[in-house]
Structure formats: C-alpha cells, structure tokens
A = this chain, B = another copy of it.
C-alpha cells in the first residue's frame, strides 16, 4: 500500500494535471490550447501552465501559429516525440532485428542482421549491438538520446532481465541480457520472452488492439506462448508463465514432425491448402490441432477473449485459423476468438519497443 500518503500537497495536483495535459496532447495530436484544456478536463489557464512546464522539459512545442479560420488565431502545441527514443531488439537464433522508435512509438530506423544458430553468445551480442547502434547512428542521436532499450529473445527471462533457461541459443542461459543492452546506451535495459513481447505488440497496435485478455501463440521454429491479462504482461514468478513444455497433453504432435511426414516444403503446403488441396489441408489440420492443444491449456486456465497466432506456421493463414477454431471449440467450453498476428516477423521487436516505452512513460514522462 504505497502511493497514498507520499506528498498529497498541491504539487501532486500539478503533476496530475500536467500528466493529463500531456496525455491529451499525445492522444489528439497538435491542438490549440482550448482544445487541450477541454480534452484534459481542465481550465485553459491550468492547461497553459502545464504546457509551459512540458515545453521547458522539451516534451511540448508551440507550433504553426494558426490556420485559416475566423477569430483570433489559437496557439497550437504539439508533442515533441523526437525528444527521446527507445530501442527494441529481437535477438533470435537465426536473425536479429533492431528498431529505433520515437516517443510516439513510431519506428524511425530498423536493421535486420543474419545470425547463425551456433554462434557463441558474445558474438551474437556484438551483432545485436551493431544492429542497434547502426539505427541510433543513422538517426543521428546524441549520447543519451536513447532513453530505454528492450530485447526479446526465446527462452525464459526472469524479471531482472536475465535469461534463466534457453535451449535454442548457445551460451544464452544465465546471461544478463537486460543489463547488457542497457550498458550499450547508458539507459535502463530490459529483456523479455519473445512470445510475450509479440503479445504486447499485438495488443498495442495489432490484432488485439481492442482486447485486454489475450493469449499469443508463437508457432514454428521458435515456439512459445505469450499471456496478457488486463492489458498487462503476465510472466509469472520466474518468468516461465506459458512454458508448457512439460505439460503431459494427450495426443500432441510436434509440428516439425508433421511437416516432415508431409514430405513437401512448408510454404508449398500452405499455398496448396489455401488453394483448397485436400491433402495439404489435412496437414494444416494436424498442425492446427497441435497448436490448439497447447493453446487450449492456456485458454482453459485464463479464459481469454482472443488467441492470436503468429510465428512461422501462421503463414498458413486462414485455413489454419479455421481449423484451430474448430479444434478449440471441441476442447473449450467458451472458445475465444482466433486471429492472425498483424506484424509477422516484426512483432517481437515492436513489442520490445512498447516495453521500453512503458518504462519511459512511467519514469521519465511521469504518466
């Protein structure tokens, strides 16, 4: 029970109202003083004071004085999204993606780099740093221009940003990933599980925009489940929430085995299935069954509104979804909606950006 009796003087009011003004400014784009005051639920004078404060902190700026309407031209303000930036990284077994985004979360730079599955940890880290600094330099940011950074990776990542279990990436287990990335830019650094970050991205701007309880199924080469409840990430005590590896689910089939038995290239099967090929559809059905088995455990446990399917198998598209819906309907009392991931391969880095922004908004913007 904190945040109650810390400083309930008028300074708190001021902070609250500045926060409300900043929120209104970020939500509604460039606005006049009067519009901002109305949006924030404040008087014009109060909004003005708040904006003076924000301007001094570099977060707001008075912009183009007017546009063609009757009456005295209104003062317009805009949010200075370029006042700070965050870095989001996806460090996978085979590829690395770095993104640089401004305070609006708009991605201004991004770099893909290829990695090797067997690459040692130090080399992979160096590659990730190169991808990230390339973005930062391309944007011409000064030292201290990165306010927070987050890495997403496969494996179990604990609250402190340390990888506690990683089976896919050599030398990864025990690595303080969050600490490393923070040191690169002299800013707070975080790390999280890839499926969890993908879930965050979908909730932020993707298929799960209007949903607060969702399960993300990362299928394919990297597998895992992400869990968002009440709009917040659930990683569990040790960060291993959603790691179903050892749950003895009856009748589960490994996707790679299924695809192996099919004897055709995955992409080929997916296209054939979308064209209506019976044999390919049967393969997709078996894949869907496997995904639904895993997802059903999460669905039965948390009863979410939506299941978002991402990762390699999601390239099978609508036929896969349709079969997953059917299988989930058999396995669950109240089957949730099922949707495809919006962002595909970029979702993990995008979720990392969002997580870094969460920190910035809370700590530096005081939101």
Contacts and interface: CB of A to CB of B under 8 A. Distances in A.
Interface of A: 1, 4-10, 12-13, 16-17, 19-20, 23-24, 27, 39-42, 46, 156, 165, 213, 225, 227, 229-230, 232, 234-251, 293, 296-298, 300-305, 331-334, 336
B24 A246 contact: no
A360 B341 CA distance: 41
Given A8-B42, A243-B333, 7 more contacts: A4-B19, A4-B23, A5-B39, A165-B333, A227-B301, A240-B303, A247-B331
Given A4-B41, A13-B8, A236 B297 contact: no
A301 B237 contact: no
Contacts of A245: 333
A229 B302 CA distance: 11
A165 to B, nearest CB: 7
Chain A interface secondary structure, helix, strand, loop or mixed?
A: loop
Contact of A304 (B27, B213, B237): B237
Nearest to A337: B237
A40 to B, nearest CB: 4
Contacts of A23: 1, 4-5
Contacts of A243: 300, 303, 333
Please name the 7 residue pairs, one residue from A and one from B, whose CB atoms are nearest each other, closest first. Answer: A236-B303, A5-B41, A241-B303, A5-B20, A248-B250, A250-B250, A238-B334
Contacts of A1: 23, 27
* Copies of this chain per assembly: 2
8 contacts: A5-B42, A236-B302, A241-B303, A243-B300, A246-B296, A247-B296, A297-B297, A298-B301
Nearest to A241: B303
A248 B13 CA distance: 54
A336 B1 CA distance: 25
A243 B331 CA distance: 11
Contacts of A238: 303, 333-334
Contacts of A41: 4-8
A240 B297 contact: no
A298 B225 CA distance: 14
A362 to B, nearest CB: 14
Contacts of A331: 246-248
B229 A213 contact: no
B334 A240 contact: yes
A337 to B, nearest CB: 10
A50 to B, nearest CB: 10
Contacts of A5: 20, 23-24, 39-42
A301 B12 CA distance: 39
A56 to B, nearest CB: 20
A333 B247 CA distance: 10
Given A12-B13, A165-B333, A244 B42 contact: no
A126 to B, nearest CB: 30
Nearest to A27: B1
B301 A242 contact: yes
B241 A333 contact: no
Given A5-B41, A12-B16, A247-B296, A235 B165 contact: no
A169 to B, nearest CB: 17
Nearest to A41: B5
Contact of A249 (B46, B227, B249): B249
